[in-house]
Amino acid sequence: MVPYLALPEGGEWIVILVIVVLLFGAKKLPELTKNAARAMNEFKKVQNGEDDDPPAVEPPSAEAGNRGAEGVREERGGS
């Protein structure tokens, strides 16, 4: 059985590495790998349910909920 998608082997990795260095430059590679590792760690945290960041959505205040449509019209200049 022939695999549909084979991983690169041996010399193919060297060619890929040379192309990456030519595209991004040697100075950018450490930054790219650091960002990729950070993204992988964040993905693992979320996957395991260890996301410690609270949601950014703030609950509406009770005062804003009681105004209704009249309060919104007054803020816009009244019509």
pLDDT of residue 9: 86
pLDDT of residue 26: 83
pLDDT of residue 6: 80
pLDDT of residue 35: 92
pLDDT of residue 34: 92
Average pLDDT across each block of 10 residues of the chain; the chain has 79 residues. List them in order.
Answer: 76 90 86 91 86 64 58 55
Backbone angles phi, psi at 78, to 5 degrees: 70, 130
pLDDT of residue 78: 52
CA distance 45 to 32: 20
pLDDT of residue 2: 63
